[in-house]
Amino acid sequence: MKPQSDNPAFALDRLAVAGDPESAALTTRAGSLSYKMLNHRVGQIAKWLEQQDLDKGDRVASWLPKTELACLLPLAVTRAEMIHVPVNALLKPGQVGHIIGDSGARLIITNTPRVKSLGELPNATDCTVISDKDLELAAKEISDPLPPNGTDFDTDRLAALLYTSGSTGRPKGVMLSHANLSIGAVSVAEYLKLEADDRTLCVLPLSFDYGQNQLLSTWMAGGCAVPLDYLTPRDVIKACIREEITTLAAVPPLWVQLVEQEWPEEAIDSMRRLTNSGGALTPVLVRQLREIFGSKTDIYAMYGLTEAFRSTYLDPQLIDANPASMGRAIPHAEIMVIDEQGEIAGPDKEGELVHAGPLVGQGYWQDPERTAERYKSAPAGSRYGGMAVWSGDTVKRGSDGLLYFVGRTDSMIKSSGNRISPSEIEEAALASGLVAEAVALGVPDDRLGHAIMLFVRGRNEDGAGDTHDLETWLKRNLPNFMQPRDIVWLKEFPKNPNGKLDRNALKEGSFA
């Protein structure tokens, strides 16, 4: 039997009582909520949900910008023992309709302009649509809020369906329990060393696994979450100044934009940590962040899967010497590198990253076929055993014990008999100083099997650059079999709704 500390799960809504009752828990444009008020508002909304024509276990969706209500719903829906389905605010009605239909949501909460668009969707006819304003007005009239779930609550109950961005096929809902999400909050708060006086700027979508955890881990530490919908990178910097932010999380495309801005001292002074997910930090980007923030701000590189939340992080003390590393397993996770024979791979040997432990989700909602492809029994030798997530990512563990990303198994480029990692080509292009962003793809070629196509965005405003200079650099720094056949300059890279680079759109040419 594993020690209790290995599974510190609790009912998710108890995060509303994790901090000092009088301390700020949430700051939005509507004002600030103390933990006392946070718990009260969560209880009112949960009670309102109980009063509707809904049953325990029903799915309740939300399609909202980062309002106060959007931040409260992950706790309020689960307090009512229902399942929250957060929908990315950037999605269109047709995409939202797919999620409503697939999840079987009985209720969706959205803002007034969107109510009509959802009511007209054929696959949303069994789903009640309510505006956020109507819900808020009704909930505030409730005088007997629902109290937090008890400590004996079954934490294996489903708490949320998080729909992936659907880079291949339709988006699929990952089933996450109270234990998955609460242990994730414990883990991240622990390794980021979050404190009660921390203020987290939440710029990532709340439908994104790490976007939601910005709220949950901050509340776990008793700190204050500050959600932000931004239009430009300058909006992020202004918010850092205005709110005296200590913690900022982003994905690589946003970091690329942020390092191109001027950062006033007032935006840097309070910053304790920067955290990255949704793609690897490059050595160039680490250097640029260090030049802006200096050594007093910790930089955390992280790797994760929606199917198992987070998997690894790199100790910030190691990032300058090992900027390309994924680090080691986060607390309460077991990370293995498994070779083609199903054995744990030796040092510097490539294999598939496999994640075991209490952060592993419960599969894909009503999709046993795709669940069986990704969720399998843990390999022999796993200390946790049970179900594990087989990531589909090729990694290797160095002799120093640190993990290094090689590439997605399904995106590796096979050219002239060579197995090539796209990230190696991309990092070489970025190291030239001639480009701000780079994506390498394999395209069918009769002679080579795959030829390399390199998409780049130059540092000029129009994204253009000198192909000859870049080719010269790459020939000097990469072997012949890794040279791109084509270099394509773009003014802007396509992004998916979570702000990550959309490789699928590049491959299909659907971004033009």
Torsion of Cα atoms, 28 then 141 then 16 then 309, to 10°: -70
For 235-349, list the strands marked E by DSSP. Answer: 247-250, 273-276, 298-305, 309-313, 325-329, 334-338
pTM of the model: 0.85
Q: How confident is the model at residue 74 (pLDDT cuts 50, 70, 90)?
A: very high
Radius of gyration over every alpha carbon of the chain, rounded to an integer in angstroms: 23
pLDDT at position 166 is 46
Give me 190's structure tokens: 């622990």
pLDDT tens-digit readout, 356-367: 999 999 999 999
For 198-308, list the strands marked E by DSSP. Answer: 199-202, 224-227, 247-250, 273-276, 298-305
Q: Assign residue 392 a region: left if phi > 0, alpha if psi is -120 to 50, beta otherwise?
A: left
Q: Assign residue 104 a region: left if phi > 0, alpha if psi is -120 to 50, beta otherwise?
A: left
pLDDT of 28 over the 60 cut: yes
pLDDT tens-digit readout, 229-251: 999 999 999 999 999 999 999 98
Give me 469's structure tokens: 């200079």
Q: Of 68 and 506, which is predicted with more confidence?
A: 68
CA distance 241 to 379: 48
Burial of 335 (C-beta count, 10 Å sphere; 0-12/13-18/19+): buried
**Phi, psi dihedral angles at 106 (to 5 degrees):** -90, -20
Cα angle 479, 482, 488 (rounded to 5 degrees) comes to: 130
Residues 365-393 as b or e (16 or more Cβ within 10 Å = b): beeeeebeebbeebbeebebeebbbbbeb
pLDDT of 4 over the 60 cut: no
In CATH, the number for domain 411-508 is 3.30.300.30
Q: Of 476 and 25, which is predicted with more confidence?
A: 25
pLDDT of 415 over the 90 cut: no
pLDDT tens-digit readout, 178-200: 999 999 999 999 999 999 999 99
Average pLDDT over residues 370-388: 93
Averaged confidence pLDDT in the chain:
91
pLDDT at position 167 is 41
User: Please, what sign has the CA dihedral across residues 181, 183, 184, 189?
Assistant: positive
Residue ranges of domains in the chain: 411-508
> Which residues are CB-contacts of 381 (< 8 A; sequence separation ≥ 6)?
336, 344
Q: How many beta carbons lie within 10 A of that of residue 483, not counting itself? A: 16
pLDDT at position 2 is 37
pLDDT of 252 over the 50 cut: yes
CA distance 234 to 132: 28
Torsion of Cα atoms, 193 then 199 then 205 then 207, to 10°: 60
pLDDT of 165 over the 70 cut: no
Contact 162, 185 (CB under 8 A): no
SS3 content of the chain, % helix, strand, coil (to 5): 30, 25, 40
pLDDT of 49 over the 70 cut: yes
Average pLDDT over residues 288-292: 96
Q: Which amino acid is at 321?
A: A
CA distance 174 to 370: 11
Contact 414, 442 (CB under 8 A): yes
Rounded to whole angstroms, what are the CA distances from 136 to 29, 62, 140, 281, 383? 15, 13, 6, 40, 47
pLDDT tens-digit readout, 93-144: 888 888 999 999 999 999 988 888 887 776 667 899 999 999 999 999 999 9
Contact 492, 426 (CB under 8 A): no
Longest distance between any two alpha carbons in the chain, whole Å: 73
CA distance 25 to 44: 17
Contact 201, 236 (CB under 8 A): yes
pLDDT at position 448 is 74
High-pLDDT (> 90) share of the chain, %: 71
pLDDT of 264 over the 80 cut: yes
Cα angle 356, 348, 482 (rounded to 5 degrees) comes to: 110
pLDDT of 471 over the 70 cut: yes
HEC secondary structure over 406-434 = EEECCCCEEECCEEECHHHHHHHHHHCCC
SS3 call for 456: strand
pLDDT at position 92 is 82
pLDDT of 406 over the 90 cut: no
> Which residues are CB-contacts of 383 (< 8 A; sequence separation ≥ 6)?
334, 356
